[in-house]
Amino acid sequence: MSSTPVPPRGQAPLHVVQVVGGGSARTCAHVRSLAAGLVARGVRVTVCGPRAAESDYGFTGVGARFAPLPGGTDPETAAVLRAVCGDADVVHAHGLRAGTLAALALYGRRHRVPLVVTWHARVQASGARARLLWLLERQVVRAARVVFGTTSDLVDRARRHGARDARLAPVSVRVPRAEPDGPSHPADGTDGEREKARAELGATGRPLVLAIGRLAPHQGHDTLLTASRAWRGLHPPPLVAIAGEGPVRPALQRRIDAEDLPVRLLGRRDDALELLAAADVAVLPARWEGRAVVAQEALRTGVPLVASAVGGLPELVGDAALLVPYGDPGALAGAVTGLLGDPVRRRRLAAAGRAQAATWPSEDDTVTQVLSVYDELTQGI
């Protein structure tokens, strides 16, 4: 496929507006990576999003312009976005809210600007809210010229909504750490560094099972707590550490205290992904995940992973992780117990994880794929 080169002398560069509707780490990291790659190829990039997104991710640091969006109603925000998109050649929205804002901003324009929408995740909802989200998804998908889904099931969902053109577009990004210029991935580190991290968590002389994720119902932490009952009988019993914050923390802590579970809630940690290097097993018991950053980091770091067989996880990890049914504490407990008792299998999974990670698209691959679609949409402009 072709890619857009630096424009010939005298020709204005392609102007692409990237829209983010919230502060999702996964989405913002991808947009920053995409902006950097596009700027390097001679594209003029404007990123629109919440003001905090710029302070957290530094889009201007990679050569993009940043235009903050107000936090008012969607029509008010769309009006601001409409002005920003006045000379855009392509508008690329990331997520449902960003897609809704972009569709509103571009509606009724005399010169139609092509809209590209990337779905990074599936919104978890039920009841009336789920029906409303379904309608919004349908409107956004039908307004877009191209819909990218980061997993096959998201592509299928877009097609069921009536997408004109839906494509699989798995993304690979560097996830910002506390230090923006720090290493891209957790280092394996020395044995001393690993033991120091384990000691700080209270896992000296015992296995460490680590989960990372927002403490919300769809993340499956209740299932993890139930599974941890089975590990109390192991010698020594593993410590289950959960890094993250969220609305169900009080309920989880009550269960931990009432049932005397070997679980520690770590709260929000800037070094959460680095903690993987100290873990014996990582767990991801969520109801749905796409190309989960935790799963990617576990495989890259060589940490055996046990995860729910949901969403995009099977195609992401292949045979390099153990997949169990969502919401099945017995299957989760059995998989983790088996790994803790089999160091040879853990080493094999660690090697398989690194090999699987090597097959994922690079940041450059991602930029090239997206840019080729911009080319398709702007031919003749």
Please report whether residue 343 resides in a domain. Answer: yes
Tell me the per-residue pLDDT of 237-257, one tens digit each, with 9 for 90 and over: 999 999 999 999 999 999 999
Please check whether residue 91 lies inside any domain of the structure: yes
pLDDT attached to residue 161: 94
88 plus 42 within the same structural domain? yes
Give the CA angle between residues 44, 121, 266 to the nearest 5°. 105
Q: Which value, to the nearest 10 degrees, does the dihedral of the CA atoms of residues 345, 349, 350, 352 take?
A: 140
Which CATH number covers residue 250?
3.40.50.2000
Q: Domain containing 72: what range?
A: 15-172+362-378
Residues facing residue 66 across a β-bridge = 47
- Using alpha carbons, select from 27, 335, 295 the residue that is nearest to residue 173: 27
Together in a domain, 119 and 197: no
**Structure-token pair, residue 317:** 């990890």
Dist CA 171 CA 28 (whole Å): 12
Query: Is residue 229 located within the same domain as residue 86?
Result: no
| 3-state DSSP assignment of residue 45 | strand
Q: Are residues 353 and 366 in the same domain?
A: no
Both 114 and 255 in one domain: the answer is no
Domain check: are 34 and 135 in the same one? Answer: yes
Least confident of 19-33, 38-52, 76-90: 19-33
Decide: pTM greater than 0.85. Answer: no
Rounded CA separation 375/123 (Å): 30
- The answer to whether residue 10 scores a pLDDT higher than 60 is no
Task: Give the single-character DSSP code of 246.
Answer: -
Token readout for 6 is: 């630096």
Residue 169, both tokens: 């577009």
347 with 366, same domain: the answer is no
Position 176 confidence tier, pLDDT thresholds 50, 70, 90: very low
Domain count, the chain: 2
Distance between CA atoms of residues 312 and 342, nearest Å: 27
Least confident piece of the model among 65-79, 121-135, 233-247, 340-354? 121-135
In the sheet with 44-49, reading across from the earlier edge strand, the strands are: 65-68, 44-49, 15-20, 90-94, 115-119, 146-149, 166-168
Cβ–Cβ under 8 Å, residues 293 and 25: yes
Mean pLDDT of 154-165: 94
In this structure, what token pair is assigned to residue 134? 């379904």
| 100 plus 200 within the same structural domain | no
Distances (CA, A) of 158 to 120, 122, 327: 12, 11, 26
**Is residue 2 situated within a structural domain?**
no
Structural domain includes residue 218: yes
Q: Give the pLDDT score at 174.
A: 58
* d(C-alpha 195, C-alpha 74), whole Å: 49
Structural domain contains residue 76? yes
Question: Does 236 lie in the same domain as 254?
Answer: yes
| Per-residue buried b or exposed e for 148-174, using 16+ beta carbons within 10 Å of the residue's own CB | bbbbebbbebbeebebeebeebbbbbb
Of residues 208 and 29, the one with the higher pLDDT is: 208
Do 366 and 342 fall within a single domain?
no
Give a yes or no: residue 8 inside a domain: no
Q: What is the pLDDT of residues 106-144, one digit of tens each?
A: 987 767 899 999 998 877 767 888 888 889 999 999 999
Q: Tell me, yes or no, whether 350 and 371 share the same domain.
A: no
Which percentage of the chain shows pLDDT scores above 70? 91
Does residue 180 fall inside a structural domain? no
User: Three-state DSSP class for 166?
Assistant: strand
What ranges in the chain are assigned the alpha helix state H? 25-40, 51-57, 74-84, 96-106, 127-143, 152-160, 191-201, 221-228, 249-259, 293-301, 313-317, 329-340, 343-357, 363-378
Residue 110 in any domain: the answer is yes
- Of the candidates 43, 39, 34, 36, the residue with the CA atom closest to the CA atom of residue 7: 43
Both 278 and 339 in one domain: the answer is yes
